[in-house]
Structure 1
């Protein structure tokens, strides 16, 4: 359609003389189980509400088009979407309006409306997030309407483009914050919340703040979010960073002060505090010269919440890393402290461990720091191996699938190995499942529930071998797709 025709159709919209229908807006009750929140708050849940219905005509014979709204504030957004049907252009220019319009377009079944909002959002993101010194303002705008962002995984396919849009918006936020921190890292709000209380405060101040307000609460009305809050929003959680190479490189590019602000943020989530330690180790490896300067690592380590590090990590990993400063004895003490049955028992342990009142008070405050928000589950991690390689396995050889997943402070790999016996089970999380594709179906193999221990020796394996006398090539064929063994590891917790 030519631009001239588009403009002509757009002029007909809102004109009583030239219009082909009359739009009547009315308030409807959302379906049971949906959220009828006003447009200024979190995004309403997408329901199966009917699209606009033409049920009658007026005195002049024009069709009456009834459009149901959930609240009056939806009207200008619905009008913009109806205008889009005529002109092909979405007349919305702010991030918040476009994010609010998406669920309305889904609910009203506006053909092409969601895609138009997505395209406009990505164009707006590309222009605003690349404005150098002004990049932070874009992140602040997105932060203020973070409740409107689509979920990473759509609900029953109701929002098929939502996860990809969220991924693009969050990637732009990370890039913008990384540039801002590198270029304007001297800003006054770069410091972590605990710094104002002096060098001994660390996460103690963060603990006090968290006790005074919910973790999800933002700054006071009218106040701008701190760099730490924006970094926590942009990087989301430790698993999202560790399992995304681009996000990890962006975090490694942060100056020490920005990383400290991120670690002190109450909005930055994780599956286990051990993953925060691993994140710090990745930054340390990429910034060895900076880490060796002065008190850089001591200041960063103050924000590790050791009371929430898993006993497995404390027992097998932490004492082996010299710069963490955790001896074998102290690791054992921390492990016992986290398993203590009550607060009185923990207090007695602290008094026995630390004789100096000052040292005791400082460390007690650090151990009282609250648990970070839970990271989003990793979900499905696919893998595949060439059939020729898989059939050549023997007991002396392990074949890597090239799959690496970070969780619980460790890197987890999927290997294939022929073995006549397997012992020692160790799998992260509460429920980890491996699935192998067998024909058109997925054959599921469960790895226990709630087992977190790091195994000593061989990790328990899954038998994938033809029996004696059976043709190996024919046996493997049922698991192959395009000449490859295809499977996935499902992280449901």
Structure 2
């Protein structure tokens, strides 16, 4: 029942639940004014549904399984009570209610579930100076629908009558130490299969950010496994590899990168040592370690730095990093002699003659730890969680105007220049396989076209000496595109992309350079600009060519400038 029995007699519709075309349970009397006003799904159904029951129209809720019935009833009951019973519902049950509420388009219930889930994670949150409240990337945003800076809505803690969930204990952890502050994280990890995708859902991303913040702020994380009221305790490495799933996506998100940099040394050690921590290349793991060391300068001893560096699987590094970058890193504790042996060891590992490799390893076993991570033959899981997710970039109109003036050629904006795109998430460059990339728009001589390409750079975070020159090759798999300006008369263009190109990883590029192949953006020709300007003068004497072009310097780029910027996207594959 959705509400008190005496109120049910005044219902003007019924709600029935169906599984594979068959009704499950008894119909529930309800009120259209509440259900249809709170659920767009049921509201649309009430308009077109013709089947009547004794109490009026029958509103049908489809179920995927019998287990969906209690959370579906709880989601509908929220319209009457405004209550989720947060003290008696576990994170798994909250996620089940949220899923049903999202399907039924019960926005208020979805927002309440989001707020309740975030509250479970952040309860008894420890303080971390690098993740102070309000710091970018540190504090999770308010739940959708809750304005930033305002108090979260509170919901009555009570269980309304009706179908109930299976009995389960609360998430309170009796263990001492730091377990209490991580109880919500461990509980969410246990039901991670129910979480909305962080890539497709603002709620999923906010929950993951909140979990990362708790883990970064926990100073006793690795002292003991995090206890759970039901089931075996979860290890710190397992929690960390779930909340920080892979190196490249963390480094492409400035907020997530700061949370990595705020991890305690013991937590980072557990993460780097976890077989579940994924990457696109071991070079990206080395770069992540460089970021952490750079953010914690002054508090990291030489012993700790070496212990962390020992967790990088050097044998899995690509040629450029192993032979060109690693020997030039002043902070990485590997002797020249061992690096030379490691290179030979890695080469021998790829040959058919395993016997020679075994002899070489046996001869150096007493001198080098060939059983350690540096010599590990097993690569980390090859994955980046942001694959297929577009990172939008932009070039501001003022930046374009400045470039047009600096590229002035004989009084007209026809000279060559380059524009560097920055990303909407605050990153200046994105990371792939240990290198950083950014989009480049280059106007060509004459001003008739511009080229779009991807430029590769060696990350500054590596701390290479200014005199170090790395002559190596890099490659990546990505798609790069620029958007076209919407039609002047409104409406949607036939294709949002003006042009684009794809890098499949088979064509390497020298580090510090861009690829030779590029996408071409046609620009308005100078003659065309002159003609357009002449028409705008409506018979007035034409001004000199330089003055005419200077009157509207953006005319040539008009097909791509929208909202005061040129924009596009970069997608990793």
With the length of structure 1 as denominator, give the TM-score of the two structures.
Answer: 0.73
Is 2:438 the partner of 1:413? yes
* Residue correspondence of structure 1 range 350-361 to structure 2 within 5 A: 351-352=359-360, 355-358=363-366, 359=368, 361=370
Shift of 1:442: 1.6
Is 2:321 the partner of 1:310? no
2:477 corresponds in structure 1 to 430
Check 1:179–1:26 CA distance in 2 against 1; reply closer, same or farther (3 A cut).
same
Is 2:92 the partner of 1:96? yes
2:500 corresponds in structure 1 to 445
In structure 1, what is the Cα distance between the partners aligned to 2:348 and 2:401? 51
Shift of 1:54: 7.9
- Asked whether the equivalents of residues 283 and 321 of structure 2 are also in contact (C-alpha less than 8 Å), the reply is yes
Aligned with residue 148 of structure 1, among 181, 194, 210: 194
Q: Could you say what secondary structure the match of 1:322 adopts?
A: coil
Q: Could you say what secondary structure the match of 2:51 adopts?
A: strand
User: How many equivalent pairs are there?
Assistant: 422
* Residue correspondence of structure 1 range 335-346 to structure 2 within 5 A: 336=347, 340=350, 342=352, 344-345=353-354
Is 2:568 the partner of 1:487? yes
Check 1:119–1:187 CA distance in 2 against 1; reply closer, same or farther (3 A cut).
closer
Shift of 1:274: 1.0
2:298 corresponds in structure 1 to 289
Is 2:381 the partner of 1:372? yes
Aligned with residue 173 of structure 1, among 188, 203, 211: 211
* Residue correspondence of structure 1 range 261-280 to structure 2 within 5 A: 261-280=270-289
Aligned with residue 223 of structure 2, among 174, 187, 190: 187
2:232 corresponds in structure 1 to 223
Q: Could you say what secondary structure the match of 1:376 adopts?
A: coil
Shift of 1:419: 5.6
* Residue correspondence of structure 1 range 43-122 to structure 2 within 5 A: 55-58=51-54, 61=55, 65-92=59-86, 93-110=89-106, 112-122=108-118
In structure 1, what is the Cα distance between the partners aligned to 2:52 and 2:525? 75
Write out per-residue CA displacement over residues 85-124 of structure 1, whole angstroms, 9 at most, x where no aligned residue: 3334434543211211222223344464433433433344
If you compute each CA radius of gyration, which structure gives the higher value, 1 or 2? 2
- Asked whether the equivalents of residues 484 and 498 of structure 2 are also in contact (C-alpha less than 8 Å), the reply is yes
Shift of 1:62: 5.9
In structure 1, what is the Cα distance between the partners aligned to 2:375 and 2:6? 62
Aligned with residue 475 of structure 1, among 556, 560, 566: 556
- Asked whether the equivalents of residues 29 and 70 of structure 1 are also in contact (C-alpha less than 8 Å), the reply is no
Q: Could you say what secondary structure the match of 2:515 adopts?
A: coil
- Asked whether the equivalents of residues 13 and 83 of structure 1 are also in contact (C-alpha less than 8 Å), the reply is no
Shift of 1:391: 2.1
Q: Which has the higher helix share?
A: 1
1:197 corresponds in structure 2 to none
In structure 2, what is the Cα distance between the partners aligned to 1:337 and 1:432? 35
Shift of 1:411: 1.9
Check 1:237–1:363 CA distance in 2 against 1; reply closer, same or farther (3 A cut).
closer
In structure 2, what is the Cα distance between the partners aligned to 1:375 and 1:384? 26
- Asked whether the equivalents of residues 252 and 286 of structure 1 are also in contact (C-alpha less than 8 Å), the reply is yes
1:207 corresponds in structure 2 to none
- Asked whether the equivalents of residues 418 and 440 of structure 2 are also in contact (C-alpha less than 8 Å), the reply is yes
1:204 corresponds in structure 2 to none
Write out per-residue CA displacement over residues 399-448 of structure 1, whole angstroms, 9 at most, x where no aligned residue: 43333112211222234445669999867432332324344432222143
Check 1:265–1:234 CA distance in 2 against 1; reply closer, same or farther (3 A cut).
same
Shift of 1:65: 4.7
In structure 1, what is the Cα distance between the partners aligned to 2:482 and 2:63? 44
Write out per-residue CA displacement over residues 146-168 of structure 1, whole angstroms, 9 at most, x where no aligned residue: 111111343xxxxxxxx110111
Q: Which runs of 5+ in 1 are unaligned?
A: 1-8, 31-47, 155-162, 191-218
Deviates most, 99-108 or 19-28? 19-28
Shift of 1:458: 3.6
Q: Which runs of 5+ in 2 are unaligned?
A: 23-40, 128-176, 408-414, 423-427, 457-473, 487-492, 530-552
Cα RMSD, aligned residues only = 3.9
